[in-house]
């Protein structure tokens, strides 16, 4: 069944693959499923045609036959359930991997996104400079615990899974801030994820979109 996802026509991350279509692309590459991409402008994302797929006017979405999904976590979970390779067969190991998927999106991502929102939307507010250290403290608190738990393991819980796709893409949002480098095992973990051939294919695909848009 043909799969279509949505992505930014011109990603604000300028081809760094920080937008959430990257996690969906990566999951599809890992399971070897081809997909089409419908590119959307910011204006089109807020129009009824897209709101029918994504009630909040965001990307990514996922269409496969008569199934339409939104929320990157739900999409990656669906891919992992539908195609083999991204979740363990063993029931308990599968439950633990799913717990880590939630941890990536519910525990690690929120303070990181909070920092981005503060920077881009509140950076000109008088209280921004005071607030930033508080957000960074919350991020570091999570990173420290995540680093402790990962230890010298390659992946979050046994073999590489959908949870690692989500966690690596979430942690990548800290790249360039120096914060990731404070936790060498987390830096190495992200590097391991980025070294996977499926990651590279997904990265190149989204970069090609940005490069084409920039050439216009």
Contacting positions for ligand GSH (CB under 6 A): 19-20, 57-59, 71-73
The least CB distance from residue 49 to ligand GSH, in Å, is 15
Residue 64 or 183 having the CB closest to ligand GSH: 64
Closest by CA to 30, choosing from 171, 201, 206, 211, is 201
The least CB distance from residue 155 to ligand GSH, in Å, is 21
Residue 161 or 169 having the CB closest to ligand GSH: 169
Contact present, 62 and 5 (Cβ < 8 Å): yes
The least CB distance from residue 165 to ligand GSH, in Å, is 12
The least CB distance from residue 129 to ligand GSH, in Å, is 25
Residue 71 or 114 having the CB closest to ligand GSH: 71
Residue 72 or 161 having the CB closest to ligand GSH: 72
The least CB distance from residue 198 to ligand GSH, in Å, is 19
Helices (H), 62-177: 72-82, 91-102, 109-122, 128-150, 162-171
Q: How far apart are CA 182 and CA 56, in angstroms?
A: 35
**Please, what is the Cα angle at 186 between 184 and 190, to 5 degrees?**
115
The least CB distance from residue 202 to ligand GSH, in Å, is 14
Residue 4 or 185 having the CB closest to ligand GSH: 4
Residue 57 or 85 having the CB closest to ligand GSH: 57
Q: Give Cα separations from 187 to 54, 113, 179 (angstroms).
A: 33, 19, 9
Closest by CA to 7, choosing from 53, 49, 38, is 38
Tokens, residue 79: 């891919």
Contact present, 27 and 17 (Cβ < 8 Å): no
Contact present, 50 and 9 (Cβ < 8 Å): no
């Amino acid at each position: 069944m043909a799969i279509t996802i949505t992505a930014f026509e011109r990603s604000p991350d300028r081809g760094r693959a920080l937008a959430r279509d990257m996690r969906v692309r990566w999951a599809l590459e890992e399971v070897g499923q081809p997909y089409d991409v419908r590119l959307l402008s910011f204006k089109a994302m807020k129009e009824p045609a897209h709101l029918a797929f994504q009630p909040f006017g965001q990307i990514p979405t996922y269409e496969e036959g008569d199934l339409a999904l939104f929320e990157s976590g739900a999409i990656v979970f669906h891919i992992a359930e539908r195609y083999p390779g991204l979740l363990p067969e063993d029931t308990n190991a599968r439950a633990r991997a799913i717990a880590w998927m939630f941890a990536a999106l519910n525990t690690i991502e929120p303070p990181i996104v909070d920092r981005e929102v503060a920077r881009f939307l509140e950076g000109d507010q008088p209280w921004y400079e005071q607030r930033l250290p508080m957000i960074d403290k919350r991020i570091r608190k999570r990173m420290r615990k995540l680093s402790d738990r990962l230890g010298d393991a390659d992946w979050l819980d046994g073999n590489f899974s959908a949870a690692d796709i989500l966690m690596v893409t979430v942690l990548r949002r800290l790249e360039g801030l120096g914060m990731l480098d404070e936790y060498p095992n987390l830096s190495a973990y992200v590097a391991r994820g980025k070294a996977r051939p499926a990651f590279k294919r997904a990265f190149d695909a989204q970069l090609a979109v940005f490069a084409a848009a920039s050439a216009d």
